[in-house]
């Protein structure tokens, strides 16, 4: 349930925004994969030009063979969402090319995030001389045959996300951190929490005040940003480091720059997943595979949220049932958590388990994608 993209920003904003912010804009959101495309009559090779780890392709080099015509040799540039360019033919004039990546599935509006396409639609505008001879402009589709290669910038960004997820898995699995959090009576996700849900579904009041003004969630994020450390059973925090709640209050919404500046989160009461709005995904040139991985990460949180919120909750006596879902409940003058899932997360071990399993799901997406399209 942890909201991504908050306190880790200090450490990762340069790393994760480097790919995106090296450009003034994302250009074409759909980039044909590098490889060979064919339809039986035409075979074309597509190569990415100007493709580096910190810069997405500035152009596509198209070459190949076609029946009854000279070989194809044209460079296309991104313009208004399409790849366009002119191929000059002696004695005829310009053949005007426009290539768009074709995404699988039904049309559902503009693409969200930077995507690699394995099919392309080609619109070929013929020279006027051929029009005068009764020839018409052509449109045809080609599919990738053989191996596909994603742009280097997208591979780099996905590798960064994979590294981040692995770091999070390692931190959340650290027995030293978990033991220190337990010994220091840290709350799982909200330093203000007064209750937690125990293993018998009882809402129990904490019997010890937290020794730090930070939750376990805060400490994990701060450790990724280099602002907290833990050893010999003690957690230390850099003076002035902000909590998650402070960052939310300062920024109006949990969105401060980490992982391309867009957050994904799961509401602990409604269990509804929030994803970055399309304009933010485009602003930061977020690859679609990253958005897909974030969604699966949050879907795992949401499934657990729904299961825990649907189960009965009892007072400490284990007999009196309590309804927490969304209702403001006071217990002995103390505000109860807003939902059973929220109460369950106040135990650091539960927060660690919930997040680690979601990050493992996310990392598996990156592993598979990088192996298929980046040669990892």
- Same domain for 159 and 143, yes or no, is no
pLDDT at 307: 97
**195 and 259 part of one domain:** yes
Give the integer Cα–Cα distance in Å for 15 and 315.
Answer: 47
In Å, how far are 101, 195, 205, 207, 367 from 334, measured between CA atoms? Answer: 57, 9, 9, 13, 45
What tens digit of pLDDT does each residue of 173-203 get? 999 999 999 999 999 999 999 999 999 999 9
Quick one: 95 exposed, middle or buried, by C-beta within 10 A (0-12, 13-18, 19+)?
buried
CA dist., res. 199 & res. 11, Å (int) = 36
User: 294 pLDDT exceeds 60?
Assistant: yes
- With bands split at pLDDT 50, 70 and 90, how would you rate the model's confidence at 4? low
Same domain, 170 and 49: no
Question: Which residue would you say has higher pLDDT here, 207 or 103?
Answer: 207
pTM for the model: 0.86
Q: What was the pLDDT predicted at 331?
A: 83
Average pLDDT rounded to a whole number, residues 49-57: 85
Over 50: is that where the pLDDT of 262 sits? no
CA proximity to 161, closest of 366, 357, 369: 366
- Tens of pLDDT, residue by residue over 304-345, are 999 999 999 999 999 999 888 766 788 888 888 899 999 999
Q: Please give the residue range of the domain that contains residue 143.
A: 24-148
Q: What percent of the chain has pLDDT over 90?
A: 58
Q: What pLDDT sits at residue 280?
A: 81
Asked if residue 134 belongs to a domain, the reply is yes
In whole angstroms, what is the distance from residue 97 CA to residue 95 CA? 6
- Cα 54 to Cα 153: distance, rounded to the nearest angstrom: 6
Q: Among 93, 124, 148, where does a domain finish? A: 148
Establish if 4 belongs to a structural domain.
Answer: no
Q: Is residue 199 part of a domain?
A: yes
Residues 59 and 196 in one domain: no
Q: Is 3 within a domain?
A: no
- DSSP secondary structure letter of residue 234: E
Residues 218 and 128 both lie in one domain: no
166 plus 89 within the same structural domain: no
Residue 234 and residue 200: Cα distance in Å, rounded? 29
- Predicted pLDDT of residue 255: 39
Confidence of residue 52 (pLDDT cuts 50, 70, 90): confident
**Total structural domains within the chain:** 2
Q: What is the pLDDT, as a whole number, of residue 295?
A: 94
Q: What pLDDT was estimated at residue 36?
A: 97
């Amino acid at each position: 349930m942890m909201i991504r993209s908050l306190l880790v920003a200090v450490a990762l904003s340069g790393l994760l925004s480097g790919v995106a912010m090296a450009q003034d804009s994302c250009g074409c959101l759909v980039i044909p994969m590098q490889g060979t495309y064919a339809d039986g009559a035409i075979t074309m090779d597509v190569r990415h030009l100007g493709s580096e780890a910190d810069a997405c392709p500035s152009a596509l080099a198209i070459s190949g063979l076609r029946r009854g015509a000279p070989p194809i040799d044209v460079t296309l540039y991104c313009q208004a969402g399409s790849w366009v360019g002119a191929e000059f033919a002696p004695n005829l004039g310009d053949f005007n090319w426009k290539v768009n990546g074709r995404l699988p599935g039904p049309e559902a509006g503009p693409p969200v995030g930077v995507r690699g396409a394995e099919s392309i639609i080609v619109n070929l505008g013929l020279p006027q001389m051929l029009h005068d001879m009764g020839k018409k402009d052509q449109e045809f589709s080609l599919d990738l045959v053989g191996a596909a290669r994603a742009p280097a910038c997208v591979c780099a960004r996905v590798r960064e996300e994979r590294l981040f997820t692995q770091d999070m898995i390692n931190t959340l699995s650290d027995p030293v951190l978990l033991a220190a959090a337990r010994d220091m009576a840290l709350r799982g996700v909200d330093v203000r929490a007064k209750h937690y849900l125990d293993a018998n579904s009882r809402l129990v009041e904490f019997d010890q005040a937290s020794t730090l003004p930070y939750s376990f969630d805060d400490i994990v994020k701060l450790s990724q940003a280099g602002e907290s450390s833990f050893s010999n059973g003690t957690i230390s925090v850099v003076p002035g480091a902000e909590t998650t709640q402070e960052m939310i209050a300062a920024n109006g919404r949990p969105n401060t720059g980490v992982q391309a500046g867009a957050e994904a989160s799961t509401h602990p009461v409604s269990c509804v997943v929030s994803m970055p709005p399309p304009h933010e995904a485009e602003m930061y040139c977020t690859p679609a595979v990253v958005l897909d991985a974030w969604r699966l990460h949050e879907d795992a949180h949401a499934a657990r949220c729904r299961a825990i919120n649907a189960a009965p909750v009892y007072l400490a006596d284990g007999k009196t049932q309590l309804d927490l879902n969304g209702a403001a409940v006071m217990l002995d003058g103390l505000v109860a958590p807003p939902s059973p899932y929220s109460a369950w997360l106040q135990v650091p071990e539960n927060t660690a388990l919930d997040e680690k399993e979601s990050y493992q799901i996310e990392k598996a997406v990156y592993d598979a994608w990088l192996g298929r399209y980046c040669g990892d």
